[in-house]
Structure 1
Amino acid sequence: MSRIAVPLDTMVPISKFSRGSASSEFAKVADGVPVTVLKNSEPAYFIISVNDYRKFCEAEKELANLEARLEAEHGIGERFENVEDLLADLND
């Protein structure tokens, strides 16, 4: 497992969430600065802003598109006899 570097002031033990202080921890979340939830002194979860989540989703889509383009350019992947077969595969 690789190590993750996070700012110390954004680390929160998971036990804080059972003691009714979750709202103050959520308030710490800012764009680009997630709150790191620790479990057994290790990062277990990240709480991110809606804006950061949207950026992540967009980046994930872009990566999938780039990978698909790379595979298509290099003839990697499944081949289809016609467009209908391709569309059927995409809708599965």
Structure 2
Amino acid sequence: MTTLTVPLDKLVPISRFGRGTASAEFAKVEDNKPVTVLRNNEPVYFILNEHDYRHFRELEEEVRELRNAEARRQVENKEYVKTFNSVEELGDYLDAI
């Protein structure tokens, strides 16, 4: 289970958005401090500013690139890895090459 830590002044019940106070809640958003919207005392939405949104998108792209590089590395290394279930199977393979 992942632990989520947010400042108490950034927790907002979802009901506040139906009372015409949404702009005041949006104004609470700061760099690295999203507003956490709660429903039934559980976080369901996070309101980010543009700076943080762009930062997270960049991080997602970096992770995607790292995963792709790792997948390519595994494919490249797989060509040099062969698994044998017995010594006889290894011998048959070596005789064939």
TM-score, scaled to structure 2:
0.74
Q: Extract structure 1 runs of 4+ deviating beyond 2 A.
A: none
Is 1:25 equivalent to 2:18 in the alignment? no
Question: Partner residue of 1:16?
Answer: 16
Letter in 2 for 1:28: K
Equivalent residues, number: 76
- The corresponding residue for 1:40 is 40
Instruction: Identify the residue that residue 72 of structure 2 maps to in structure 1.
Output: 72
* Percent identity of equivalent pairs: 51
Give the whole-Å Cα distance in 2 for the aligned partners of 1:52 and 1:30.
9
1:3 Cα deviation (Å)? 3.4
Residue 52 (structure 1) aligns with: 52
Residues 31-73 of structure 1, C-alpha deviations (whole Å, 9 max, x = no match):
1000000000111100000010000111001100000001101
SS in 2 for 1:74: helix
Cα RMSD for the two superposed structures: 1.2
The answer for unaligned runs of 5 or more in structure 2 is 77-97
Gaps of 5+ in 1: 77-92
